Structure 1
Amino acid sequence: MHPWSLITPASRGIGLELARRLLRATSIPVVATARKDLDQTRENILTDLESNCEDRLSVLRVDVTDEDSMADAASACATQFDPKTNYLHLAFALPGLLFPEKSPTQIDAANALLTFQTNTLGPLLLLKHFSRFLPRKSTAISTHTDGLPPQAVWATMSARVGSIGDNRLGGWYSYRASKAGVNQITKTFDNHLRTAAAEKAIAIALHPGTVKTELSREFWGNVKEEKLFSAEFSAERLIEVVRGVGVKGRGKCWDWKGEEIPP
């Protein structure tokens, strides 16, 4: 069986750098997604990479607020990667949107709905359409996975502020709640994988720290320089965490240092 990987979305920020790092550090095909400008996304991912990376990269349209686009992308993957001979070894589900409500009076119903639709329902629907590509108990997963974790991993982007037990500051109501939902989805999906795949596939959630992306731009000035990460550094650390968590770390949320974040 031959492994492949999925990064969604990968048009910029952490997703873009994850796609680039997987192309550089592994030999498996990479499926990257974007809502629009697919050719530009492909060009950005391949910039300065060796020419042999080009044949391993596919860029598909996915908008996590449009389920049809996810279904279409999954169908394209099923055509490209025959499930009888291929399986999804590593998936990063990364959609994120933030409206920072500092008080209850700042909560806007439309913004809150879009936050949940993007941050929580988006990853949930990605599971609906792409989880079928993960290995099952009977799958003979590849032992030639240099640069990858030994078992298949579905990793969803969460955030430290999604932790209920670690919430000491309040605020950011819809974002916190949406990421708490991601953590519950991760645990629930991992329970499914325990039955369907045993130790051949796990699900985890990730916290990348504060990264210089459009999502966090408004807050860069409030973060110490040594705690404000580049997207390149974040991608490197997240891949290291995914490689090192192992089966014992399944169903949990892990930060960029490889430390568990409580629910």
Structure 2
Amino acid sequence: MTDSEKQDAAVVIGASGGVGGAVADALEAAGQYAVVHRFARTLTGAARLDLEDEGTIAAAAARVAAGPAPALIFVATGVLHHGHDPERSYRAMTAEHLMRDYRINAVGPAMVAKYFAPLLPRDRRAVFTALSARVGSIGDNRLGGWHSYRASKAALNMILRNLAIELARSHPMAVVAGLHPGTVATDLSGPFQKGLSAGKLFTPAYSAERLLAVLDGLTLADSGGVFAWDGARVPE
């Protein structure tokens, strides 16, 4: 594929993270897109986008709109701890913790959809995806706990389902999906890696490879669902 044949862009939001950076690297190495936009709250070489600052999201979308249409928008963001350990019991819930996780895990990606989804091409396949988590599944919840993280990811899954329904009206070839990356050796999962076997802890590069392969295999019938790194659909 020559540069003149590349008509689309890819957008990676959260490119300062382990998975996001690996996804951006893999997309650039594959050479499928005319440009790969990297956005993050703080990252050398990436444009600024803060999920808690709607103005930066709008500005980032305007920057992307000036170039090739983004056929892939990959939201690789999320928060699990960093000042708030996952709650083991409902007695440990706090409004501050709940609101922090909702802002970053659900509201932020929703605002990304608000500004970026309209930029998807309408006449060919396009994908909007965000990192979710298996623990955001209501049907798969057998243990309880982790209230803020579980609830915020469940909210994200509903936002993605709504987006899939609405985009089908204006962008009939668009696929919307949540992705469960497994346990990846990043800061997000750092405190929870103890005791995992080597086969259960993925490198960012391997996770990115698997997630992009899953996206490649999704069809319009899959839009609105959440899928694990191995392609299996995560229960709602």
TM-score, normalised with respect to structure 1: 0.83
Measure, in 2, the Cα distance between the counterparts of 1:224 and 1:106: 30
Aligned residue number for residue 7 of structure 2: 2
Aligned residue number for residue 96 of structure 1: 78
Give the paired residue count: 226
Task: Please state how far the C-alpha of 1:101 moved relative to its aligned partner.
Answer: 0.6
Aligned residue number for residue 172 of structure 1: 146
Measure, in 1, the Cα distance between the counterparts of 2:31 and 2:162: 29
Task: Please state how far the C-alpha of 1:75 moved relative to its aligned partner.
Answer: 1.5
Aligned amino acid, residue 196 of structure 2: V
Measure, in 1, the Cα distance between the counterparts of 2:205 and 2:41: 21
Contact 2:135–2:150, Cα closer than 8 Å, also in 1: yes
Contact 2:20–2:77, Cα closer than 8 Å, also in 1: no
Instruction: Give CA deviations for 1:176-217 in whole Å, capped at 9, x if unaligned.
Output: 00011111111110001211111x211011000011111110
**Residue 183 in structure 1 maps to residue 157 in structure 2:** yes
Q: How do residues 213-252 of structure 1 correspond to structure 2 at under 5 angstroms?
A: 213-252=186-225
Please, what is the CA RMSD of the aligned residues? 1.3
Aligned amino acid, residue 72 of structure 1: A
| 2:179 aligned to which of 203, 206, 226 | 206
Aligned amino acid, residue 204 of structure 2: A
Measure, in 1, the Cα distance between the counterparts of 2:230 and 2:71: 22
**Residue 17 in structure 1 maps to residue 3 in structure 2:** no
Aligned amino acid, residue 233 of structure 1: Y
Aligned amino acid, residue 120 of structure 1: A
Measure, in 2, the Cα distance between the counterparts of 1:102 and 1:208: 23
Task: Please state how far the C-alpha of 1:135 moved relative to its aligned partner.
Answer: 1.8
**Residue 67 in structure 1 maps to residue 73 in structure 2:** no
Measure, in 1, the Cα distance between the counterparts of 2:214 and 2:197: 23
Measure, in 2, the Cα distance between the counterparts of 1:222 and 1:179: 25
Higher helix share: 1
Instruction: Give CA deviations for 1:70-120 in whole Å, capped at 9, x if unaligned.
Output: 1111122222x1xxxx32111111220114111122222212211100000
Q: How do residues 20-59 of structure 1 correspond to structure 2 at under 5 angstroms?
A: 20-28=25-33, 29-37=35-43, 39=44, 42=45, 59=46
**Structure 2: runs of 5+ lacking an equivalent:** 1-5
